[in-house]
Each structure stands twice: as C-alpha cells, then as structure tokens.
Chain A
Amino acid sequence: MFKDITIGQYYPTGSVIHRLDPRTKLLLTFGFIVLLFVARNLWGYLVAAVFITVVVLVSKIPFSYVLRGLKGIIFIICLTMILNVFMTPGEAVAKIGFLTITKEGIAVSVYMAVRLILLVAGTSVMTLATTPMDLTDGMEYGLRLIPGFKRFAHELSMMMSIALRFIPTLMEETDKIIKAQKARGADFESGNLVARAKALVPIMVPLFVSAFRRADELATAMEARCYRGGENRTRMKVLKMTSLDAWAFVVFALFTVVIIAMNHLPLPLPFPFN
C-alpha cells in the first residue's frame, strides 16, 4: 500500500550517476530547477526533457520508477493547467459560457505542466540514485555554507537522517499492525466514513506507542555512547569529489549554455507558442 512513494526510495544500480558525490548531485539538481525557470520557450524545454531522459538512461533506473513520483502531483498539474487556460488575459481562441480560453492561456498552462513534470522527474532521479544517508551528508555540507546555519547544520541533518532511517521501519511496522488486526477480524474496507475512521484506532495507537518506544530507545542508546553532535565531530565516511564529478559539471555547463542559447536563437515556434 506504500509502494507509490518514490521520494526517499533508493534504487541501487551502481551507475555513473549513483557514484557521483551527493554534493554534486544536489547542486546540479538545484541548477536544473533554476534552468527550468530560465528557459522561456518550447525549444528550451525540449532540450531539458532530452537532458533528463539521457540522465535517466545513464542511471539505469526504469522510467516507470521515475514517473511514479508524478502520480502524486497529477492533481496539482491539472489544477494549474485549468486555472491558467482560463485566467490568462490575451487573444481569445474559444468561449465556453462565461469562460474564455486564450492563446496565451494555452501556452502558459502547457509551459507550467512541462515545468512541473521536469521538476519532479529531476528531483526523483536524484533521490532514486542517492542513498538517504549520502543525501543528508550532502545537505549538511550545503547547510554549513549558508551564513547563520553552521551551528545547526549537523543537528538538522542528524534529525533528517534519523527521520529517513525510520520511514521504512515505521512502514513495515504499520504493515505488520494492519495484518495483525486483520487477523483479529478488523475490517478497514467497509462502512461509512465514521466507521472507517474508527477502524484506524487499532492501527494508530500501536503505531504511536511503537514510534515513541523506538525514539526513547534510540535516545538512550545515543546517550549511552556519549553522542554529542556538531563541533569537532569527525566522520567515518568523508565525502570526496572525483574526476567523475568534474565531468558532471562540464556536461551540465554545456547544458546550461544550450538552454540559454535556446532563449536567444530565432527558432520557429508553432501555435500557440509564437
């Protein structure tokens, strides 16, 4: 029942993308998102789509996995499309009752949808190709560079890695509790809304009890080992950039140049984008 969640789900293939330094991947993903907003016409998005497709192919992650992340935002995409189609002022194309579809509206809504899809695809590839632990290490490094955040960077990333670490555990736990209550004849599927909400009590109570128990045990274990975060703490695994990362930056620089060039080249555009 939790199989649709892609964020935080690592898909190991050992590809070149997987072997990149997490800082590289984070930085380039951020760069990719920025470029999605720099691109101003269809050609730019086409280049971005080709780019992300190539990245997925190189990462050897099946497309179905990357697209799974989209399921969750289909509603948001549809909503923004509908709103944009009707609300954008401009040259009218069609009229439905009191609503007017404009040429600019169609263009804007298509751009928005493409942008969102590419954005989710880009971040999904990153999370699928990076272990959660690497990801938080990379984030800690990034946070330390922001002025004022240096003091909390370690704590924040520690919290995040603990949270990420426990997501699968809690899911497993939930799965087990559901099965156990089903074995006691619990029915989660029939009845009206109130009955269904009530049926959740036998799941939620044990789940909370176990989450608190785990948190308590973890805190005790950390204290018993004299855990003290932040200053002077060294790492067992030190992040290291390699020539692979240098190449990734070179490829991305090329991509950036092409995207910006697309904004200025006098390429022909079809209706309604001209």
Chain B
Amino acid sequence: MALEIKQLSHIYSKGSPFESVALKDIDAVIETGEFIGLIGHTGSGKSTLIQHLNGILKPTSGTVCIDGKDVFAQKKKDMIALRHAVGLVFQYPEHQLFEETVYKDVAFGPKNLKLDEKTIDRRVRDAVTLVGLPETVLDKSPFSLSGGQMRRVAIAGVVAMEPQILILDEPTAGLDPHGRDEILREIKKLHAEKKMTVILVSHSMEDISRIADRILVLHQGEKVFFDTPAAVFREVETLEKIGLAAPEISYLIKRLRVKYPEIPDDIFTVEDAAAAIDHVLGGGRRV
C-alpha cells in the first residue's frame, strides 16, 4: 500500500495559550514494501506525524492518503477499515497491556477485527513466534514478564492484526543493547517475511542506518531530509546542527577516506566498515 502525506500540518490546542505547532507542511510519499526510518530530536514531531497515518489524530490542515484514498474524508466505517491496514505500535506499548494472559492480550486486536476463532488462534501463535517469544508465555500474565518481553507482547498484539503498513514508535526506547538488537532484528524479519511496509521511529541513527531504505528527518515539525541513508549521512553538518549525528562509524570512514579515497562513502555499519578496511588495507594485515 502506498502512503501519501500531503501538506500535513498539526497544531496542538489551537486557540488556547498553550497552542504549539507540531508539524509544518509535511510532504512525503512512501512506496509499498519500503522500510522507512523516521528520525528527529525529542519534540521534533515524530509521534505526532505517525498518529496521523492511521487517522487517530486529525490534521489541522493537509491530509494522508492510503492507496489514493483520503483517510480523513472517509465514512466512519471505511476509516476503521483503513485503520486496520495500518498497524501502529505506540511508544512504551507495554503500558497498554490489560488482559489476564498473553494469549488474550494478543488476541484483542484480531478479535476486534471480528475474525473467527481458528484464524485468531493461528494469528496469535504466529505473532508471538515472530516477535521471538516462546509459546510457553501464552498462558502467563503479561504483568509477570520482563520489560523487554512485555514490549514484545505489545508488538505482537499489533502484528497479529496483520497490517500492511506497520509503524513503530521508538520500539527500542529504554531497552538494554541486547534487547534493542533483538527487537530490531525481529522487525527486520517482519519486513522481510510478511512483506510489510515498515516505518520505524527512532532518535538513534545507529539503529536506523542499518535497516532503513530511506530516512525521513524531522526538525521542529519540518521535513529536513527524505532520502537514502547514504545521501542523508553525507549532510553531517546539517544533521549536527539539528541535534542529530551520523553513525559513529561514518566519522571514522570520513577520516580514512582522506588517505584512502577508494573507500566508498556509503558505509554506516561496523561490519561494512570492517570489510571495506580489510579490502583496502589487504585482508592479511590484521591488527
């Protein structure tokens, strides 16, 4: 499903002394099957933007179209159907768990879709496996799990609705490096196996650079860049000015390129960097 964001603006508490502009004229087109990284400093409007994509938040002006259909111009019923095509995992999603068992909680979404028991059962088991939880947790209370596991249960709750577009708001916030890597790996797997379009919100370049096809950079509610990681990370000065940074490794590559211009400039992961350095310096010379 193609997603089109057109001239989208959002002003919170319009007309009160607390009025604040959160989004200004955002334009973007996201193609089917893409993996988009949405990045920006805290308060740049990332969460506000994604809440428009499934019609939960109404724009002050502008609109969002899914497959050419204007999300906000639909009748209530069609709007709900569109909403089901877009799965939204909020920030700290573990705070929305409420059922007695993991199974029931994950089944909440599919049940609201009015699916039959058998499909629900299959989807719940699928989703739980996809997010890397063992089936043994199904009968446990979600409140007895660890923070990282609770977050997976919450993500599974949205995955079980099998949306075509999956949006995750800082799914790695507050997790340890190990938990963070695992969640990212599972999201990558979802993208590859279920052919979902994924929008991943983060404020860590490191996380995003590895997996995103394109990166949308927000700053104070405005779109700064929307391009491939290579193109975005070339603009280190602008990124630093808006409180972001290119991945650490790209600084090393930049300095190395002064001496070895044959190193490509689109390297953002430690693994790629190691390979490139190996290649240039002749694999044999291990340090």
Contact = CB atoms under 8 A, between A and B. Distances in A.
A40 B223 CA distance: 63
Interface size class of B (residues with CB under 8 A): 20 to 34
A212 to B, nearest CB: 11
B161 A210 contact: no
A206 B83 CA distance: 22
Given A177-B95, A206-B95, A209-B143, A185 B90 contact: no
Residue of A173, A183, A185, A209 contacting most chain B CB atoms (<10 Å)? A183
A183 B83 contact: yes
Contacts of A89: none
A11 B88 CA distance: 34
Contacts of B90: 176, 179-180, 183
Nearest to A182: B56
B84 A185 contact: yes
Contacts of B17: 11-13
A12 B16 CA distance: 10
A176 B91 CA distance: 9
B96 interface: yes
A181 interface: yes
Contacts of A181: 96
Contacts of B96: 177, 180-181, 184, 202, 206
* Majority secondary structure, A binding face: helix
A143 B63 CA distance: 54
Nearest to B143: A209
B104 to A, nearest CB: 11
Contacts of B56: 179, 182-183
B112 A185 contact: yes
B247 interface: no
B98 A183 contact: no
B83 A210 contact: no
A64 to B, nearest CB: 10
A184 B157 CA distance: 8
B95 A184 contact: no
A195 interface: no
A254 interface: no
A157 to B, nearest CB: 26
Contacts of B157: 184
A180 B56 CA distance: 9
Contacts of B54: 183
B109 A185 contact: yes
B285 to A, nearest CB: 53
B39 interface: no
A21 B220 CA distance: 37
A74 interface: no
A176 B95 CA distance: 10
Interface string B84-115: 10011010010111100000000011001100
B196 interface: no
A205 interface: yes
B158 A183 contact: yes
B51 interface: yes
Interface string A143-167: 0000000000000000000000000
Given A181-B96, A187-B112, A205-B98, 7 more contacts: A11-B17, A12-B17, A180-B93, A184-B157, A184-B158, A186-B108, A187-B80
Closest 10 CB pairs of A and B: A185-B112, A205-B98, A180-B96, A183-B88, A184-B109, A180-B90, A202-B98, A179-B56, A206-B98, A206-B96
22 contacts: A11-B17, A13-B17, A179-B57, A180-B93, A183-B56, A183-B83, A183-B87, A183-B88, A183-B158, A184-B96, A184-B109, A184-B161, A185-B80, A185-B83, A185-B84, A185-B113, A186-B108, A202-B98, A202-B108, A206-B96, A209-B95, A209-B98
